[in-house]
Chain A
Amino acid sequence: MKNKILSILASLFFAASAQAKLNVVATTSDLAAIAKEIGGDKITLTTLAKPTEDPHFVDAKPSFILKLNHADVVIEGGAELEIGWLPALLDQSRNEKIVAGAPGHISCAKGLPLLDVPATLDRSRGDIHAAGNPHFAISPVNGRIIAQTITDGLAQNDPANAETYRANLKTFTTALAAKMAEWQQALAPFKGRSLVAYHDSWPYFARDFGLKIELFLEPKPGIPPTPSHLAEVILKMKEENAHVIIVDVYLNRRTADTVAREAGATVVPVTQFPGGLKGTEGGYLELEDYLVKALAAALAEKK
C-alpha cells in the first residue's frame, strides 16, 4: 500500500516536472542560440540583451527583474561582460535558484582559458577586464566548450531530460565540427593576414582562424579613437597590408569609413550576436557562416 502511494506520488511528480519546461534566461543572444541547440523543446528561452546593442551597456530594466524572478536557470557570459547591469538585477530578482554560485547560475566563462588577462589592474590602460577578454563566445572552439558547460548546467537543473541535452550536444558538436572544417578551409588562404577591429573583441576568433586582429581604432579599450591614433593605425595598416576593418554593429561606423577611405580598406560590419545583422538570425552556426563568408569575401578583394 505504502509503495503504491509512493509510486503514484512519484508518477505525479514526474508528470508535473515533465510538463513544466525548464525556464532559461540568457543574457545575450549568442549564449541563447547555443542554449537553444542544447535545450531544444525541453526549455523555454528568454534573452535579455538585444543582439544589436553593446552587451556591456544594457539597461537593467525592471521587466528583466520579473524575467529573472521566474527563471530556473540564468546563463551569463561572465568575466565582467554583464558586470554593469546583471548583478543589480539578480539582487532584485529574489530568486535563490539563480544567484551567483547556485546551480541555476551558469557562467560560460568558467572553464574557458581567457586571453588578455591583465597582470596588474590599471585603468590608465583603458577599461580593462580583470578576468580577461569576455568576448569569447564568438570563437567556435570556445562555442564547443560553452555548449558543454550549458549542457552540464541544464542536465544538473533538469536531470529528467539530461539524456536529451547530451544527445543534442552531440548533434550540435558534430555539426559544429563539420562546419568548422568548412570555415577553416574558407579562411585558410588568409592565414596570418592582418585585420583591423574597432574594439578588441575578436582575439578568440582570430586565434581560431589564424588571423591577426591586433590593430584597433580605439587607442585603449573603451577610449574613443583620436586622430593621432588613427593616423598611426593607417600607417601600420599600409605596413602590414591590412585592408579589412571590422566594426560591430553598435560601434561608430563613420570613424571606420574615414579610416577605410584613407587606407584604401574595406569596412565589414560584423556582430557577435545572432540577429545582430540581417542574415545571422538563424543561430550560432548561421552567424559563424555569415562572418566567415563576409571576411573571406573582403579579404579576397586584394592580396
Chain B
Amino acid sequence: MKIFQKVGLAVLVLALTAGATSVRAQETNQVEQLQKQLSQMQENFERVQREQAAQISALTQKLGEMARQQSAEAEKKKLETQLAAELATTMTNEPPSALAKTWTPAAPITVARAGSAYMNMSFDTMMVAGGSTASDPSAQLQLGDHDPQKNGFSLRNAEIALDGAVDPYFKGFANIVLKLDKNNGTEIELEEAYAQSTSLPANLQVKAGQFFAAFGRQNAQHPHTWSFVDAPIILNRAFGPDGLRNVGAQGSWLLPLPFYTEFFLGVFDGQGSTTFGFRNVGDADALGVNRFHGRATIDRGLRGPQDLVFTPRLASSFELTDQQTLVAGVSAAFGPNDTGANTGTQIYGADLYWKWKAANAGEGFPFVSWQTEALYEVYEAGADATAATPLPAETLRDWGVYSQVLWGFKPRWVVGLRGEYANGNHGAFDASDEFRGERTRLSPVLTFYPSEFSKIRLQYNYDQGEHFGSQHSIWLQLEFLLGAHGAHKF
C-alpha cells in the first residue's frame, strides 16, 4: 500500500513540475490547464488505488477461502475418524426426544403439511344427482364405471390418492376408489398403484404396477380432471367401463428433438375386465356361463409373451403461438381375446388437443380448449355353437369419435359442448349388445368451480341409439377434494 502511495505522490510531483514549466510558456490559461492536469492525475491515482485495493481484497479473500477449505478438510477428517470410532462401538438405541419436545397434546395436529410428510394425501368425492328418460340409465346409456348409475343419486367415485418419493430412484402413486353400487353397498377398487423411475439415463422412464395405459388423452385421466360427468362412448366400447388399465409395466422415451415428442410402450398382463377387449371372460349369463359379445368365453391363460397386451403410443406437442398449444398423438393396443383359442384384438387411436389461454390469465381463465379422439377396434370373435342362436366366427369392427370444446369464459366458469358418434360393422349378436350399434350423443355442460377444491357441474345428454331410440338425461354433479391438490398434467 505504502509503495503505491509513494509512486502516486512521485507522479503527482512530476505532474506539478510539468505543470510549472508550462506556466512560463503560456500565461493565459495556465491555471485552467494546471487544474485539468491535476484532476486527471488525481483520477488516475485514485483509479490505480481502487484497482490495487480490489486486487488485494480478492487475494485476501482467496487466501482466506483456501485456509478455510484446508481447515474444513481437516475438520472433516477429524469428524470422520471420530464417527468411525463411534460407529465401531456398540450402538445404543436412545429414545427419540425430538417429537416429545415439539409436540404437546394441546397443539393442533396438522397432517400432510406440504414438505413435512413423506407423502401427499387427498380424498376426492364425486356424486351425481339427476335422471334420464331411460328407466335404467346404466343398462345402455351410461356404460362408464364412474358414470351416473341410476336415476336419483349415485356416488361412483370417492378416491383416496397418495403420492410421494419412494427413495432417490422411484416415485410412488396410488389411487384407491370407493364407490356405491346400485344398492348403495360399498365397492372398493385398486384403481392404480405404481412406481415410476426418476433417475434412468438416456431420457428413459419406467413405471410398473397397476395403472392406466397411455392410450389417447382421456383414458389415463382420472374422473376428477374430466370435463364431463361421463366417459365418451367410444372409450367405453373399446376399453370397457373402467378404461384400459391393468397390471404391467411401461417404458417411455423423451426423444431428442427440438419439440416435445414422447414414445410410450406399455406391456400388460391383459387378464380381466380392465383389459376389456382382451383376455376378459366377460359377464356370467343366467346359466352361469361367461360371455363376451354373446360368445361363451374360455379362460386362455397366459401361454407366453405373445398373450400379453402391448400398447405403443407416440405424442408430440407444438407451441403454435405464445398462447396456443397443440398436442397430437397416435396410439394402439394389441393382444389376444377370450372368445377363441387364437383370436386377437387390435385397437388404434388418434388424438388431438388444442388450447388457447389468454396472456394475462387470472386463475387460468379465460381459455378455450378443443379435444378430439377417434378410435378403431378390430375384434376377432370366435364361433360359439352352444349359444341360443349359434354365433359364427366373425370380425367385429367398431369405430367412433368424440369432439369437445370448452370455454372458460370467466374465472371459475366453464361452458362446453361434446358431440359423439360411434358405429360398427354388422355382427350376429348386435341386437343384444349394448357395446355395439350406431349411436350419437350431444352433451352441453356448465361447470362452476367455487374454488380449486370443489366443483358443481350440470350436464344434459341427448342420446340417440339404434337399440334405444332417443333418450334425454340431465345430471348434476358435485365434487369436493380434501388434502393435497396434486399438480395437473397438460
Contact = CB atoms under 8 A, between A and B. Distances in A.
27 contacts: A50-B322, A52-B360, A54-B362, A54-B364, A57-B362, A59-B325, A59-B357, A60-B490, A61-B317, A62-B315, A62-B490, A63-B259, A63-B325, A69-B203, A83-B485, A88-B488, A89-B487, A91-B196, A91-B198, A92-B205, A92-B254, A94-B198, A96-B198, A121-B110, A248-B362, A250-B360, A250-B362
Contacts of B51: none
B359 A53 contact: yes
Interface string B340-368: 00000000000000010111111110000
B108 A119 contact: yes
Given A94-B203, A94-B254, A252-B411, A57 B489 contact: no
Given A53-B360, A53-B361, A62 B317 contact: yes
A99 to B, nearest CB: 6
Contacts of B453: 123, 127
Nearest to B369: A59
Interface string B233-269: 0000000000000000000001000011010000000
B322 to A, nearest CB: 7
A244 interface: no
Contacts of A222: 363, 451-452
Give the secondary structure class of A's interface: loop
A44 to B, nearest CB: 15
A224 B411 contact: yes
B200 interface: yes
Contacts of A53: 357-362
Given A53-B357, A126-B451, A250-B360, 11 more contacts: A53-B358, A59-B325, A61-B325, A62-B260, A63-B318, A83-B487, A91-B171, A91-B198, A96-B198, A121-B113, A249-B360
Interface in B313-352: 315, 317-319, 322, 325, 327
A87 B487 contact: yes
Interface of B: 108, 110, 113-115, 171, 196, 198-200, 203-205, 254, 259-260, 262, 315, 317-319, 322, 325, 327, 355, 357-364, 411-412, 451-453, 485-490
Given A60-B487, A60-B489, A85-B487, A96 B199 contact: yes
Q: How large is the interface on A (under 10, 10 to 19, 20 to 34, 35 or more residues)?
A: 35 or more
A57 B489 CA distance: 12
A130 interface: yes
Given A69-B203, A85-B487, A96-B198, A130 B113 contact: yes
Nearest to B204: A94
B437 to A, nearest CB: 37
Interface string A77-115: 000100111111101101010010000000000000000
Nearest to B203: A94
A127 B454 CA distance: 12
Given A59-B355, A62-B260, A96-B199, A127 B452 contact: yes
A18 to B, nearest CB: 20
Among B355, B486, B490, chain A packs the most CB atoms within 10 A around the CB of B490
A88 B173 CA distance: 12
A160 to B, nearest CB: 15
Interface in A1-58: 50, 52-54, 56-57
A65 interface: yes
Lowest 6 CB-CB distances: which A-B pairs, in order?
A62-B317, A57-B364, A62-B260, A88-B487, A250-B362, A52-B360
A248 B361 CA distance: 11
A85 B358 CA distance: 17
B318 to A, nearest CB: 8
Contacts of A126: 451
Contacts of A57: 361-364
